[in-house]
Amino acid sequence: MRTYTPVILQAALKEALKDGGIVEAHCTEDAKKIGSAWTGSWTIYLLAEGERVALVNHRALQPREFKTIGGLVSLAVELGLEAANVPLRKGTSVNWTHGTEGTSQS
């Protein structure tokens, strides 16, 4: 039997965040500095009702992957956040909530 992963688009993620949702930034590849840019790999999830819902690319409906810290921070700004912590090591996560600074988790 095929399993389905719940997904969310960016516009709905922004609304869920405004409604008190929690966004998780999860590091899937250690951050490293290349030239003047910090690179790595991060995926974004909405934590809602006991589920972890992946932010997806609207064209392919594949989990959206952020490859630079700049891209991750740009998303945070687009979501209306005032601050955004960034996990730097593979397997670590931070939570973002509307109107507050992120909180770290491992």
* Per-domain residue ranges of the chain: 7-86
Cα–Cα distance, 46 to 40 (Å, whole number) = 20
Cα–Cα distance, 46 to 23 (Å, whole number) = 5
Helix (H, G, I), strand (E, B) or coil at 31: strand
Is 98 within 8 Å of 20 (Cβ atoms)?
Answer: yes
Tokens 């992120």 sit at which residue?
102
- The pLDDT tens digits for 31-58 are 999 999 999 999 999 998 888 999 999 8
Question: For residue 105, which of 83, 75, 85, 79 has the smallest C-alpha distance?
Answer: 85
Question: For residue 79, which of 3, 26, 24 has the smallest C-alpha distance?
Answer: 24
pLDDT at 56: 95
State what percent of residues in the chain have pLDDT above 70: 88
Question: For residue 63, which of 23, 105, 9 has the smallest C-alpha distance?
Answer: 9
Is 101's pLDDT higher than 50?
no
pLDDT at 103: 52
